[in-house]
A and B are shown apart, each in its own frame.
Chain A
Amino acid sequence: MKNTLEARHIVKRYGDFRALNDVNIAVPKGSVYGLLGPNGAGKTSLIRIINQITMPDGGDILLNGEPLEPKHISQIGYMPEERGLYKSMKVGEQCIYLAMLKGLSKSEAKAKLEYWFDRLGMQGWWNKKLQELSKGMAQKVQFIVTVMHEPDLLIFDEPFSGFDPVNANLIKDEILQLRDQGATIIFSTHRMESVEEMCDHIALINKSNVVLSGKLSEVKQQFRNREYAVSLITQDNARTLQSIPDLYNAEGIELSGLDNTLDFKIRLPEDITIAQSLNDLTSLGELTHFSEIIPSVNDIFIKTVKQDG
Chain B
Amino acid sequence: MTFVSPMIFVGVALLVGFLTSLNNDTTRKIAILDDTSIYAPLFEDSERTEYIILENNNLQVAIDASKTADYYGLIHISENKNQLGEVTLYSDDSPSLGFINEIEDKISKKATEDRLVARGINLETIKESKITTDLKLQSYTGVQTSKANGWIKMAFGGGAGYLLMMFIIIYGNMVMRSVIEEKTNRIIEIIISSIKPIYLMIGKITGTSLAGITQFIIWVILGGILFTVASTFLGPEAVQSPGNEMAMSQLENMDKMQLIINDIMQLPLLKLVICFFIYFIGGYFLYAAIYTAIGAAVDNETDTQQFMLPVILPLILSIYVGFFSVMDNPHGTVAVIFSYIPLTSPIVMLMRIPFGEIAYWEIGLSMLLLYVSIFGVAWFAAKIYRVGILMYGKKVNWKELYKWLKY
Contact = CB atoms under 8 A, between A and B. Distances in A.
Nearest to A83: B186
A85 B407 contact: no
Given A48-B390, A86-B185, A101 B191 contact: yes
A283 interface: no
A84 B190 contact: yes
B193 A85 contact: no
Interface stretch (A25-33, A74-82, A117-125, A217-225): A74-82
Contacts of B194: 73, 98, 101-102
A85 B186 CA distance: 7
A212 B342 CA distance: 55
A15 interface: yes
Given A54-B390, A76-B193, A98-B194, A85 B187 contact: yes
Interface in A35-94: 48, 51-54, 70, 73, 76, 78, 80, 82-87
A53 B386 CA distance: 9
A15 B407 contact: yes
Nearest to B187: A84
A48 B193 CA distance: 8
Contacts of B195: 73, 101
Contacts of A80: 186, 189-190
Contacts of A51: 193
Interface residues of B, number: 18
A98 B190 contact: yes
Given A48-B390, A53-B390, A70 B189 contact: no
A69 to B, nearest CB: 12
A154 to B, nearest CB: 12
A119 B181 CA distance: 31
Contacts of A76: 193
B232 to A, nearest CB: 42
Contacts of A102: 194
Residue among B185, B403, B407 facing the most chain A CB atoms (10 A cut-off): B185
B188 interface: yes
A7 interface: no
A87 B193 contact: no
A228 B191 CA distance: 50
A207 to B, nearest CB: 21
A83 B194 CA distance: 16
A84 B188 contact: yes
Interface in B346-361: none
A15 B394 CA distance: 15
A78 B193 contact: yes
Contacts of B185: 84-87
Interface in B377-407: 390, 403, 406-407
Given A14-B407, A15-B403, A53 B192 contact: yes
Residue among A15, A51, A84 facing the most chain B CB atoms (10 A cut-off): A84
Contacts of A101: 191, 194-195
Contacts of A145: 190
Interface string B167-196: 000000000000001100111111111111
Contact of B193 (A73, A83, A84, A86): A73
Contact of B189 (A14, A73, A84, A86): A84
Nearest to A78: B193
B270 to A, nearest CB: 39
Contacts of A98: 190-191, 194
A83 B191 CA distance: 12
A145 B187 CA distance: 11
B24 to A, nearest CB: 48
Contacts of B196: 70
Contacts of A73: 193-195
Contacts of B188: 84
B189 A53 contact: yes
Nearest to B389: A53
Q: Which 4 A-B pairs have the closest CB atoms?
A: A84-B186, A101-B194, A51-B193, A84-B187
Interface of B: 181-182, 185-196, 390, 403, 406-407
Given A73-B193, A82-B186, 5 more contacts: A53-B189, A78-B193, A80-B190, A98-B194, A101-B191
19 contacts: A15-B403, A15-B406, A48-B390, A51-B193, A53-B192, A53-B193, A78-B189, A78-B190, A78-B193, A82-B186, A83-B186, A84-B188, A84-B189, A85-B185, A86-B182, A86-B185, A98-B194, A101-B191, A101-B195
